[in-house]
Amino acid sequence: DEQQVVIENAQRKYGDDPGILADLMAIDHANSQFGRRAQGIAVLCGGWLGRRETVASVFDVARSAQGRIRQFDRVRVNGQVNFSVVSRAVEPVAVVLAELLANATNYSAPGAPVEINIQAVPTGVCLIVDDAGLGMGQEEKDRAAALLAPQAAISVSSLGIPPQFGFAVSGLLAARYGFKVSVDSVSPYGGVRAVVLLPDELLTGDVPSPPPVAAEHHDADVAALHRRQAPASPTPLFPPVAQSATAPQPIGPATTSGGLPKRRRKSPVSVVPSAEPGPVRSNEETASRLGAFQRGTRSGRDTTTMEGPEFQ
C-alpha cells in the first residue's frame, strides 16, 4: 500500500511526460498484482479484505479484475446487466474473478483470448470465464471442487510447492460472502469454463456514483475533451466547382430531332487539394488522456481498509 502511494504521487508529479507516465503505469500494474497476491495470503490466514464504501456495476467489477492480472490485454468483457454489486462484496468478487482470469491466461496458449460473459439468470447474475486451454482432468476437477467449497480449514502446506492459492482463496471468499464458484464445465473452445454466481442478495439496482477527481486533473481532462469535441465546419463530399460569371449557358432544345434526350457536355471536374494534416497532439494532451485512463482503472480497485473483522 505504501508503494502504491509512492507510485501515484510520481504519476502526478511526472504525468506531463507521456513516456514517463506510461512507464509508471506499467509499474502500477505490476504493483497491483503484488497486492492481489498479498490479499490472497491474508485471506488464507483469516484476514479480511479492504471494503468499498460504494456499490460498483457488475461490468466495472469485471474490468477491475481484468486490470489485476499480468496478461490483461487478452481478456474481453462481453455483456452488460442493469445491476450493481453491493459495496461489501465488490472487492471479494473482483479478487475471485482475477484469480480465475489469471488461471485462464496462464494455462492457455499465449495470445489466445479469454472471455468474460455477463449473464442475468433467475437467481442472480453469472460471470462466465471461458478459455481455450487444455482443460482439466477429472482428478483436477475434484480437487478444485473441494477447494472451491471448503468443508474445513485449508492448510497452506497442502497447496503444493510453490503454493497455488487461486482456488483456495476463491473458495474461502465465496463461502464468507455467499456466492458460488465452479470450474467443472468445458468452455466452447475446449478449455475450462469457470462460473461465478452472484445471488440476488449481493446485487442492487443502485447506480454507482462517479469517482471523485482532483480539480486540476479534471480541468485538464475537460479542456482536452473540449478540444477534441469542438465542432468543425463540415467538409462537403463534392465541393462545388467555381464558375465564371461569363460562363456560356447551354443553348438549344434538350432533345434531338428524333425525340431522344440530348446529353450536355459537363464542365471539367477540378482537382480538390488534399486536406492539411491535423495538428499533432501535444505532450500535455497525451499525458492527460493517459492520466484519465489510469485513474479510471484505479477507481475500480479503490478500497477503504477497515481494521478488524467486518460486520456482515
> Is the confidence at residue 248, as pLDDT, over 50?
no
Q: CA 202 to CA 274: how far, in whole Å?
A: 57
Higher pLDDT, 235 or 282: 282
Model's pTM, two decimal places?
0.66
pLDDT tens track for 212-244: 554 444 444 444 444 444 444 444 434 444 444
Long-range CB contact pairs, 136-142, < 8 A, 24+: 136/183, 136/192, 141/183, 141/184
Q: Say yes or no to pLDDT of 209 above 80.
A: no
Question: Which secondary structure element, helix H or strand E, spans residue 147, and what is its range?
Answer: helix 138-148
Please report the pLDDT score of residue 261 as a whole number: 53
Q: Which grid cell is 213? A: 477527481
- Residue 200: the pLDDT is 95
Q: How far apart are CA 243 and CA 150, in angstroms?
A: 84
Q: Cα-Cα-Cα-Cα dihedral of 158, 173, 104, 75, to 10°?
A: -160
Instruction: Give the range with max mean pLDDT: 179-183, 284-288, 294-298.
Output: 179-183
DSSP string, 64-87: HHHTTSTTGGGEEEE---S-EE-H
For residue 202, give every residue at least 6 positions away whose Cβ sits within 8 Å of its Cβ, in sequence order, or none.
85, 86, 89, 93, 124, 177, 178, 179
Question: Given a cut of 80, is residue 278 above it in pLDDT?
Answer: no
Residue 56 sits at φ, ψ, to 5 deg, of -145, 140
- The CATH number of domain 2-205+287-299, selected from 3.40.50.150, 3.30.565.10, 2.120.10.30, 3.40.710.10: 3.30.565.10
pLDDT of residue 287: 59
Contacts of 45 (CB under 8 A, 6+ apart): none
Q: pLDDT digit string (tens) for 152-167? A: 677 676 676 677 778 8
pLDDT in tens, 27-55: 888 888 888 888 888 888 887 777 777 89
pLDDT band at 151 (very low <50, low <70, confident <90, very high): confident
3-state secondary structure of 17: coil
The arithmetic mean of pLDDT across residues 273-279, rounded, is 47
N-to-C CA span, the chain: 25
Give the residue extent of every domain in the chain. Answer: 2-205+287-299
Percent of the chain with pLDDT over 70: 64
C-alpha cell read off for 171: 473458495
Mean pLDDT of 136-145: 88
Give me the sign of the Cα torsion angle 42, 44, 90, 108: positive
What is the C-alpha separation between 309 and 158, in angstroms, rounded? 26
Q: Cα(212)–Cα(185) distance, rounded to whole angstroms?
A: 41
Matching residue, cell 497447496: 159
**Strand pairing report for 114-121 and 180-186:** unpaired
Check residue 288 and give its pLDDT. Answer: 59
